[in-house]
Amino acid sequence: MSFDLPLDKMTLADKLATMEAIWADLSKRPDDLPSPEWHKEILEERRRLAGEGKPRFIECDIAIADLRKELRGNSAS
């Protein structure tokens, strides 16, 4: 199937809504979306670390602020 979307005429909100609708449809059948092997390896490592009490958790807003600071620092170089 082939179709054209008027991307140049769509607003950002329209594009995001379209992506969300597509993702919602894809998510109805998770078995049709295979994960790469490296995803499994990372999850297993994180489970192992969590079992050992090693991960450090922070609030989402703090993590976002830290990432913004880091990105600003890297863009200045």
- 10 Å Cβ neighbour count for 30? 9
pLDDT of residue 76 exceeding 60, the answer is no
The sign of the CA dihedral 45, 48, 50, 55 is negative
pLDDT of residue 77 exceeding 50, the answer is no
- Under DSSP, is residue 32 helix (H, G, I), strand (E, B) or coil? helix
In the prediction, which pLDDT does 55 show? 81
Average per-residue pLDDT for the chain:
90
Please indicate, yes or no, whether the overall pTM of this predicted structure exceeds 0.75.
Answer: no
The length of the chain in residues reads 77
The Cα–Cα gap between 42 and 48 comes to 10
The Cα–Cα gap between 28 and 8 comes to 29
- Listed by start position, the domains of the chain span 8-75
pLDDT band at 75 (very low <50, low <70, confident <90, very high): low
Mean pLDDT of 29-37: 88
